[in-house]
Amino acid sequence: LTTVTIDDVAELADVSIKTVSRVLNNEPNVRAATREKVLAAVKQLEYRPSQSARSLAGSRSFLLCHFYDNPSPAYLLDVELGASSICREAGYHLIVERLDGSDPTLAASIGATVTALRLDGVILTPPISDNTAVLDILERNDTPYVRFAPYMVRNRGASVAMDDRRAAYEMTGLLIGLGHRRIGFIKGHPDHGASDVRLQGHLEALRDQGISVREDWIKQGYFSFDSGVAAAESLLTAAERPSAIFATNDDMAMGVVTVGHRLGLDLPDQLSIVGFDDTPGASYVWPRLTTVRQPVTQMAAAATQMLISGEATRSKWPAGKAPARLLDFEIVVRDSARSPDAASAGRRRD
């Protein structure tokens, strides 16, 4: 088993290796007939250029990397789904590295990977997307990056996002439209920038509808099922409890559902619950969750495209302004939110 090299192709096609290189890199100034000859030889020999040699000699490695810390499983899968397909089309490959966001050597570790691999670009998801030490080291190494949902640290580098604020605004509006006035809210993990943005959207919707904010109905959560359970317990065992709860991710919403059942509440009649993310489990619980679907796969595809096309490269930014792509979310209406009036019509409350 000998590896086929550019020399073999050049010899078979009866041209120089430089011409083979031109054809493979789609450079101009090659006669059509010459191109055909080369392509035929490539095909016949099943030639695949060595990534190492290309990287060492040239300026590209054809390697992208996704650095992440403890994402939800579905989020990771969607990111890879979007990134992997774009990579394949362009002859790039996706490396993944899981890191501990609280590790003080995080940035150094990313710097090591970036220089060892000569990465052509980096994808950063929350909460690493808001880690300024990481952004610093990436910029020092001249490595393009795209940040997902870059809410805590703004105006730094290319990004992809959806409008979390508006999604939360509309979800709260949906509950209000159903007739809810007493709405509980469970915040996300404080390390994630989206957490605060979603809260802001919620508060705006309340204000726009003239509903006063009840601080005691806003609970801290951490995006985990257990934190949803804890918040729901405190919300639902209080003297006066909300008629609806907006949990800012599905895992927490499912915690609320569990507590609701445990307390013997008739869901959704006695308590409406809405989530955020549309994880697979959202349609498995009863009642099936009304939630926000994030365009994670499309965000990943867009990010990858920005990296490969060079849009994410600082020196190519139009007017020095980093590109930011905003994608559409979707509110998926299922069974977990209902009008509180319907409930009182169907049964006595208290």
Q: Is 28 in the site for DNA (CB under 7 A)?
A: yes
Q: Which is nearer to a copy of itself, 88 or 316 (CB)?
A: 88
Q: Which does 280 bind (CB under 5 to 8 A by kind): a copy of itself, DNA, none?
A: a copy of itself
Q: Looking at residue 293, what DSSP letter applies?
A: E
Shortest distance (Å) from residue 53 CB to DNA: 3
Could you tell me the end-to-end alpha-carbon distance of the chain, in angstroms, rounded to an integer?
A: 80
Helix (H) or strand (E) holding 334: none
Q: Is 17 in the site for DNA (CB under 7 A)?
A: yes
Q: Is 141 in the site for DNA (CB under 7 A)?
A: no
Angstrom distance (rounded) from CA 101 to CA 149 = 16
Sole residue written with tokens 């709405």: 183
DSSP string, 91-145: T-EEEEEE--TT-TTHHHHHHHHHHHHT-SEEEE-TTGGG-HHHHHHHHHTT--E
Q: Which residues pair with 158 in a beta bridge?
A: 146
In single-letter form, the type of residue at position 171 comes to M
Helix (H) or strand (E) holding 61: none
DSSP string, 143-182: --EEEES--SS-SSSEEEEE-HHHHHHHHHHHHHHHT--S
Say if residue 284 is exposed, middle or buried (CB neighbours under 10 Å; 0-12, 13-18, 19+). Answer: exposed
Q: Is 34 in the site for DNA (CB under 7 A)?
A: yes
Residues 52 to 71: which contact DNA by CB under 7 A? Answer: 53-54, 56-59
Binding mask 262-301 for DNA (x = CB under 7 A): ----------------------------------------
Q: Which does 22 bind (CB under 5 to 8 A by kind): DNA, a copy of itself, none?
A: DNA
Shortest distance (Å) from residue 84 CB to a copy of itself: 4
Shortest distance (Å) from residue 18 CB to DNA: 4
Q: Is 329 in the site for DNA (CB under 7 A)?
A: no
Q: Which is nearer to a copy of itself, 56 or 133 (CB)?
A: 56
Shortest distance (Å) from residue 89 CB to DNA: 18
Taking CB under 7 A as the criterion, the residue among 22, 66, 198, 219 binding DNA is 22
Region from 43-51, 133-141, 236-244, 328-336 binding DNA, contact rule CB under 7 A? 43-51
Q: Which chain residues interact with a copy of itself by CB under 8 A?
A: 1, 3, 48-53, 55-56, 61, 71-74, 76-77, 80-81, 84-85, 88, 93-98, 109, 112-113, 115-118, 140-142, 225, 251, 254-255, 257-258, 261, 280-281, 283-286
Angstrom distance (rounded) from CA 305 to CA 312 = 9
Q: Is 212 in the site for DNA (CB under 7 A)?
A: no
Q: Give the pairing of strands 291-293 and 330-332.
A: antiparallel
CA triplet 137, 138, 142: central angle to 5 degrees?
115
Q: Is 47 in the site for DNA (CB under 7 A)?
A: yes
| Residues at the site binding DNA, with contacts judged by CB under 7 A | 3-7, 15-19, 21-22, 24-25, 28-31, 33-34, 47, 49-50, 53-54, 56-59
